[in-house]
Amino acid sequence: MIYAENVLICITVPLVIALMFLQGSARRFVASFLSGMAACLLAAYVGGYIELISGMGAEDTAIFLSPIIEEIMKLLPVLFYLMLFEPKDVELLLVAVGIGTGFATFENCCYVLSRGAQSLAYVLIRGSVVGVMHLVSMVALSVGLHLLKQYKVFTVSGIIGALSLAMTFHATYNLLVSKSGITTYVGYALPLLGALILYPQTYHYLGKKEERRPSS
Amino acid sequence: MGYLTIMEAFLLSLQAAIVVPIVISTAGLMKKGRNGIFPAFFTFAMMSLFLSDLYCLIFCIVRPEERMPFTVDEIAECAMLLLVSAGLEALSGKRKKWMPRAFLFTILYMSASIALWIAWSGEWVQDILFGLPYVYLAYLLVRGLEYVRAWDTDGERMLAVVMSVGILLMQTVMLITENETAWNVMNVGSYVIAHGITAWLLWKNYRSLRDKSYGEKTLYLSITVFLWTLLVTYMSDEIYYNIALAINTLTIPIEWIAVKRLRGETDGAAEGMENS
């Protein structure tokens, strides 16, 4: 058993102090990274509670329900930031990436602490697949939210649509890796493939928007 | 893996394969912006449908013969229905008006359907919560069909009501009867009526497309047949489920054509129809 709260305190204290010495987008990134870690802890609490009341086993909860809970917990800080600060597209992406990586980092820390880190292959897979999966789902979510704003369809149903996109991506990964065999490898490839598809699309699009924006 | 599961997996892949070019095409319409705001909602709705199909397909392959628990495909389906509903709300714009008769019918009909889903699955919270988007979309469609004058006569409208209520009654009898003959008669009867309504709606869609009726009428009719066939899949099992799924897949390209028909249309054209 590990004490997740203690792990969180241990990682966040230097980052919180670092916030005092940072400015602009670096500060925004570290703050969103911290929000991502907090969201991960809260998702674990909610997941544990739902597992208890739903009567589903730990494995089924992890496969079927945790994508729903985790993506909602990751959406909330993004939505909060979007509604309160009305950020530019690049800033929204930066915050989404910060939350995704913060979430993935804390989840990986807890997982490795509880299961051990002896096998390098296992740690590499864990880092490069699960970590990337949280990042990709957050980038997809922020792109979805951005498109909703751009086409003036930023409504509750639109937000649920974008959220379902991230949830289904996450749940598809969980389902694929839940059984050993060829599907596991397909599951491992999915986040990396998602990252490869999203990277050029996102940066090409944002780059174009930046070019069009008049210089101040 | 049984032949029904293989067939279901094939149909889900077919549906997903049909949805991909539709998403690309409607995303193009969304960028051009000449078809109004609806293609934007429709593109996101189709993306949700695609992901839901993909998830179900993977579930069929990874865990065949297992009943799917509550999971994200239901959320994706609800997101799809909500997005289409929001698109229809945006489309109706200033012409939105409260229609108590349509609301009452929808509430009663969908509540009875949800009660039957609960009786079948035993999942109270899930069926009520995820039934709400169906109620909302069904109300918008019933109201919209009135507005676009989709029913040629009052008799036609009444026939649609009687037939759809008839299925509910038959399904209720199937739940309570212990007589095997009665159960079989009701089972076959409800499939015949359900697919009869589907054929009728498809015929109306064909006529609307052939006559080049104004886009909104075709759109409402196509979404109605899509929603109807989706409801039919929920009341079907085994081979009947796969038949219903195949017909549901067929209605997606019809929706796409209807969305393309919205091109160049203004509120004035629709209002002109209303006043004629």
pLDDT in tens, B44-102: 899 999 999 999 998 888 887 777 777 788 888 998 999 899 888 888 776 667 788 88
Rounded Cα–Cα distance for residues B84 and B52 (Å)? 15
A116 or B79, greater pLDDT: B79
pTM of the model: 0.84
Q: Does B82 touch chain A (CB under 8 A)?
A: yes
Rounded Cα–Cα distance for residues B132 and B136 (Å)? 6
Neighbours of B231 (CB within 10 A): 21
Rounded Cα–Cα distance for residues B19 and A7 (Å)? 45
Residue A141, φ and ψ in degrees, nearest 5: -65, -45
Residue B65, φ and ψ in degrees, nearest 5: 70, 5
pLDDT in tens, B186-236: 889 989 999 999 999 999 999 888 887 668 889 999 999 999 999 999 888
Domain that holds residue B119: 3-275
Contact between B72 and A68 using a beta-carbon 8 Å cutoff: yes
Mutate to test the interface with B, among A68, A147, A168 (most CBs of B within 10 A): A168
Contacts of residues B184-190 at CB distance under 8 Å and 24 or more positions apart, as own/partner, are B190/B166, B190/B235
Query: Residue B14 corresponds to which tokens in the numbers above?
Result: 């077919």
Residues of B in contact with A64 (CB under 8 A): 69-72
Pairs of CB atoms within 8 A across A/B: 95
Nearest CA in chain A to B38: A153
Contact between B58 and A165 using a beta-carbon 8 Å cutoff: no
Predicted local distance difference test score (pLDDT) of residue A207? 64
Contact between B75 and A175 using a beta-carbon 8 Å cutoff: no
Burial category of B105 from C-beta neighbours within 10 Å (exposed 0-12, middle 13-18, buried 19 and up): middle
pLDDT in tens, A183-196: 888 888 988 888 88
> Please, which residues 57-76 of chain A have a Cβ atom closer than 8 Å to chain B?
60, 64-65, 67-68
What sign has the CA pseudo-torsion A173, A175, A177, A181? negative
Average pLDDT, chain B: 85
Contact between B62 and A169 using a beta-carbon 8 Å cutoff: no
Largest CA distance in chain A: 57
CA atoms within 13 A on the CB side of B239: 2
Rounded Cα–Cα distance for residues A39 and A77 (Å)? 8
Going from N- to C-terminal start, the domains of chain A cover: 4-212
DSSP B122: -
Domain count of chain B? Answer: 1
